């Protein structure tokens, strides 16, 4: 779902948060309750799948994982309980996902204010699919 930022919408969300309950206690549950008919909007109002790729796709639907790798992952979502999060992950992953997990962990261990050259070296050390160049460029520019 894509929402244009506005002060009016922000105020409406704050007011609604006092009475509208999230079905699962999360911010995503609240937003799904508030924007309960978001799926009826034109497709242009939704982000493409590559902007919220669940890490479980690699294990449970390899053809979909290969397809999104070819397109280029913009956001890899480590969804699930704490054992599935990159800071405490202890499961088995396919090699194509392991590279993302290793990159996340390497960046997390980098000094908070690491020079961009250090971060670029971390990216270079973790060979991700070539389709990820766009994401790497965005991350490098963010780190500068």
What does the block give as tokens for 37? Answer: 């008919």
Cα separation, 135 vs 144, in Å, equals 15
pLDDT, tens digit (0-9, with 9 covering 90-100), for 68-81: 888 888 888 887 77
- Collapsing DSSP to helix, strand or coil, 10 comes out as helix
Can you tell me the distance from the alpha carbon of 65 to that of 97, in angstroms, rounded to the nearest whole number?
Answer: 9
How far is it, in rounded angstroms, from Cα 130 to Cα 70? 9
The answer, yes or no, to whether residue 129 has pLDDT greater than 60, is no
The mean per-residue pLDDT over the stretch 76-102 comes to 78
> Are 53 and 73 in contact, with CB atoms under 8 Å apart?
yes
The pTM of the full predicted model, rounded to 2 decimals, is 0.59
Given a contact cutoff of 8 angstroms between Cβ atoms, the answer to whether 106 and 126 are in contact is yes
E-only strand ranges, 5-127 = 53-54, 76-77
What percentage of the chain exceeds 70 in pLDDT?
A: 76
Average pLDDT over residues 54-69: 88
Q: What is the model's pLDDT at position 116?
A: 67
């Amino acid at each position: 779902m894509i929402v244009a930022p506005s002060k009016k919408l922000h105020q409406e969300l704050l007011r609604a948060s006092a009475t509208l309950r999230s079905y699962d206690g999360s911010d995503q549950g609240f937003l799904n309750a508030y924007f309960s008919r978001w799926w009826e909007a034109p497709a242009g109002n939704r982000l493409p799948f590559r902007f919220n790729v669940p890490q479980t796709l690699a294990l449970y639907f390899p053809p979909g994982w290969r397809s999104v790798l070819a397109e280029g992952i913009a956001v890899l979502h480590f969804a699930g309980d704490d054992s599935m999060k990159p800071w405490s992950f202890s499961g088995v992953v396919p090699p194509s996902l392991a590279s993302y997990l290793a990159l996340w962990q390497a960046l997390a261990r980098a000094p908070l204010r690491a020079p961009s050259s250090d971060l670029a070296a971390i990216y270079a050390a973790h060979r991700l699919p070539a389709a990820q160049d766009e994401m790497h460029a965005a991350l490098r520019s963010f780190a500068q």
